[in-house]
Amino acid sequence: MHKEKLGVPNEHELVRTSSTSEQRKGRDTDIYGNDEKNIAGEVIARYVVRDSMSIYPPQSTTVSFVKYDLSGTEIESGTI
């Protein structure tokens, strides 16, 4: 997974909750939902990670994420 690149502390757990894929506009994209759990096992944040690759040469790859708090408010986003 992308735990280190997302900045999730080592003592926290990143648990995959969903996985889908889509193809459109010349890109093949895998979309992963993840929950960040603290030491007590409580969910403290949610992530959506999009791993997108061009299906045409050169086959470039882009990995992006959005981090949400428990109310669904976006609190961080970027590429990794």
So what's the pLDDT on residue 2?
85
d(CA 3, CA 47): 10
Query: By residue range, what is the domain housing residue 58?
Result: 3-79
pLDDT tens per residue across span 12-53: 999 999 999 999 999 999 999 999 999 999 999 999 999 999
So what's the pLDDT on residue 17?
98
φ, ψ at 5 (rounded to 5°)? -70, -25
The pLDDT confidence band at residue 9, using thresholds 50, 70 and 90, is very high
Q: What is 14-72 written as a DSSP string?
A: EEEEEEEEEEETTEEEEEEEEEEE-TTS-EEEEEEEEEEEESSSS--EEEEEEEE-TTS
Task: Yes or no: say if 72 and 57 are a contact pair by the CB < 8 Å rule.
Answer: no
If one counts the domains in the chain, the total is: 1
